[in-house]
Chains A and B, each alone.
Chain A
Amino acid sequence: MSPDEISEYMVFRLSSSRSPKEVKLLHLEWAVVTQLDGEKSVGEIAGILSLSKSEAKEIFSNLTNEGLLDLVNLSRSEHYLPAEIFDNIEYELTLVMGPVASILLEDVLQEMGKTRDKFDRASLGIMIDFLTNHISNPDKQYQFQKNILSKIKDYILAR
């Protein structure tokens, strides 16, 4: 697996067919190995070890190629949001910002490097944060966030 094929949402565990002791590992690779529990995602382990995304992907790629890791699954966050949620967001944003809302929403999506049809759940909070920062009136910020939360909570909160 190349580093580009590793997603921050992937979850790995140690392979039962090969032990890390059979391979010469670098210090950081050992650090990653000690964090593997079959639950933490690549992104979470990177956060714990203060690794950049590219460093983490490189290390996971090396470990996978050495046959030390098995892919458990993609974490839930990998799932994309339904595109119609953006109609709700655009509607609520229009109520507080007027007709510039749709342009602003597209700008924020572009800034984040995402599109309406491929937007993961984990990034939704960040997008709402960005959009809120464009609303200058605190009362309108509250109104927007309250309305948005009531509409998106089924997608982001456990039932």
Chain B
Amino acid sequence: MIAELFKNLLKIEGVEAVAVFSNDNKLLDSWTRSHINSQVFQDLGLNSLQICQAGERSNLILEEVVLKYEKGQLYCRHHPDFLLVVVAKVKVEITLIRLIVNVGLGDYRESRKLQKIVRKVTSGNTNILAKELIDDVEEEYLTKLNILEKTS
């Protein structure tokens, strides 16, 4: 999927990893310049999906999330069928990533074959904020924001 839709991302100097997750947090495809532990990928996907879902429940449409950290930045793009996560160095222009992702998403919209494949592997269970997927601190925080309902 990355090779078909987002191969130009891999040619940007400073892009370290690209991953595509289904909306129920299955890793659909990944690419990395250096070795990244598969658990790290899984956590990246889960946390990014949780941010998007928490946003949705607060009536915010978070189509795009950019997080900066000391050694780089994380670009997440949420699509109804999947989530794309790009790990890049700080020097990479987000607008360049966005341009390539926009074109890739347009290609996806025109590819029935790819849509079929992605929808086939997605179970439909997309409650990424379920209690078993968050810890107590996260639960308390989301409850304070009225994103989760209080439990007794």
- Report which A residues bind B (CB closer than 8 A): 40-41, 43-44, 47-48, 75-77, 122, 124-126, 128-129, 132, 141-142, 145-146, 148-149, 153, 156-159
Question: With contacts A48-B90, A153-B8, A158-B13 known, is A146 near B106, CB below 8 A?
Answer: yes
Which one of B70, B95, B103, B109 lies within 8 Å of A125 (CB-CB)?
A: B95
Task: Tell me which residues across on chain A come within 8 A of B2, comparing CB atoms.
Answer: none
Instruction: Determine how close the nearest CB of chain B comes to the CB of A96; give it in whole angstroms.
Output: 13
Q: Does B11 contact A (CB under 8 A)?
A: yes
B93 surroundings in chain A (CB, below 8 A):
122, 125-126
- B residues in contact (CB < 8 Å) with A: 8, 11-13, 68, 70, 89-91, 93-100, 102-103, 106-107, 109
> Could you list 28 examples of A-B contacts with CB < 8 Å?
A41-B91, A44-B91, A47-B68, A48-B90, A76-B13, A122-B93, A125-B93, A125-B94, A125-B96, A125-B97, A125-B99, A126-B95, A128-B95, A129-B99, A132-B102, A142-B102, A142-B103, A142-B106, A142-B109, A145-B99, A145-B106, A146-B103, A146-B106, A148-B99, A149-B103, A157-B12, A158-B11, A159-B11
Taking a contact as CB atoms under 8 Å apart, the answer to whether B103 and A145 are in contact is yes
Complex CA distance for A153 and B99, rounded to whole angstroms: 11
Most A Cβ at <10 Å: residue of B94, B96, B107, B109? B96
A142: shortest Cβ distance to chain B, in Å?
Answer: 4
| Alpha-carbon gap, A134 to B103, bound state (A) | 17
* B interface secondary structure, majority: helix
Nearest-Cβ distance from residue A95 to partner chain B, whole angstroms: 16
When the two chains form their complex, are residues B70 and A157 in contact, meaning their CB atoms are under 8 A apart? no
Whether A48 and B70, one on each chain, are in contact in the complex, defined by CB atoms closer than 8 angstroms, is: yes
User: Please, how many angstroms separate the alpha-carbon atoms of A17 and B37 in the complex?
Assistant: 41
Chain B residue, CB-CB nearest to A139: B106
Q: Known pairs A129-B95, A129-B98, A158-B12. 8 more at Cβ < 8 A? A: A44-B91, A75-B91, A125-B93, A126-B93, A126-B95, A129-B99, A142-B102, A157-B12
A150 to chain B, nearest CB (A): 9
B102 and A47: CB pair below 8 A? no
Query: Which residues of chain B come closer than 8 Å to A148, judged between CB atoms?
Result: 99
Scoring A48, A75, A141, A148 by chain B CB atoms within 10 A of each residue's CB, the highest score goes to: A48
How many whole Å from A46's CB to the nearest CB in chain B?
10
User: What's the minimum C-beta distance from B41 to chain A, rounded to whole angstroms?
Assistant: 23
Q: Give A149's nearest chain B residue, CB to CB.
A: B103
What's the Cα separation between A77 and B109 when bound, in Å?
33
Q: Is the CB of A141 within 8 A of B102?
A: yes
> Chain A residues with Cβ under 8 A from B91's Cβ?
40-41, 43-44, 75, 77
Taking CB as reference atom, which chain A residue is nearest B12?
A: A157
Taking the closest CB of chain A, its distance from the CB of B90, in whole angstroms, is 5
For A122, the chain B residues whose CB sits under 8 A away are 93
